[in-house]
Amino acid sequence: MGAIRRYQFKILTLLLGCTLFISCSSPQKLSKEGFRTSSVSAESIVNSLPNYTKELKTVEGKGRAIVSEPNNTDRITLLFSSNRLKSLVTVRNGIGIEGGQLLTDGDTLLVYNKIDNYARKIPVRGGKLTRINKLASLNILNILNYTIDPEEVTNVWENETHFKLMLTTGAQIFVEKAARVVDEVMQPEDSSLPYSRIQYGAYSNLEQFTLPRKIAIFGTEGKSKIALQLQSLQLNPSLNQLTINLPDDIRIYYR
């Protein structure tokens, strides 16, 4: 039983890379059919979207996640704290036992496996990250409030329910017309980003901020997915220093 438990926790620590919050059911799939050139300007669409980069500096909360890979599905709880520069995530299993922590600053990923008692630091880009760990470079706060620079929009398309913004990077952003919120972000196949697609859902108002309660994030290979639902969220809390307090006898491995 001890070996099985260690194996389960090893998986949970790897799953830490998500740093996102999503639901047990994915956000509703939008129609990508019937798009035509739009006469609405990119600037007017982008300016109507929630952008809290100045007002929202920190978040702290809890989410329940389902992490799916080929031949494996895990249900975990994530405790997270994030500012605009760093994200710290703690993973717990279904009965509340803590398996590890993960800290990302966008450049490196520090994984602390409490069960097997080791720490590993991995470069986010070019670091041979595994499926789920590729997602670890994503900043929680920036993902919760996804923003767009109107100068990066090359074309605007629309159908009956959505705008589709084409970016200079090759990314496609789908915006719900009625609510003026981002429904989906799709990256091109040659993107260096650690995800291929993000789906948003269940937007709600909290302290005058409009934020999603559900997010689904898909790995670059299209076979891994993190679906997590926010259970609690504090906006602009006073955070302690975002760091992992490693025991003195823990050696950090680099790869």
pLDDT in tens, 5-55: 444 444 444 444 444 443 444 445 566 789 999 999 999 999 999 999 999
Instruction: Look at residues 172, 102, 185 and name the one whose alpha carbon lies nearest to residue 144.
Output: 185
E strands in the chain: 36-37, 58-69, 72-83, 87-92, 98-104, 108-113, 118-123, 153-158, 162-167, 172-176, 181-186, 197-206, 209-218, 225-235, 252-254
pLDDT in tens, 47-102: 999 999 999 999 999 999 888 877 888 888 889 999 999 999 998 876 667 788 88
pLDDT in tens, 104-150: 888 888 989 888 888 988 877 655 555 445 555 678 899 999 999 99
Check: CB of residue 45 under 8 Å from CB of residue 51: no
What is the pLDDT at residue 206?
A: 92
Report the predicted TM-score, pTM, of the whole model to 2 decimal places. Answer: 0.81
Please state, in angstroms and rounded to a whole number, the distance separating the CA atoms of residues 209 and 226: 24
What is the pLDDT at residue 95?
A: 61
Burial class (CB in 10 A: 0-12, 13-18, 19+), 213: buried
Gyration radius of the chain over CA positions:
18
Number of domains in the chain: 1
Which helix (H) or strand (E) is 14 found in, with range?
helix 2-15
Reduced to 3 states (helix: H, G, I; strand: E, B; else coil), residue 20 is coil
Q: What's the domain range around 6? A: 2-254
pLDDT in tens, 177-214: 999 999 999 999 888 777 889 999 999 999 999 999 99
Check: CB of residue 98 under 8 Å from CB of residue 89: no
Return the CATH number at 90. 2.50.20.10
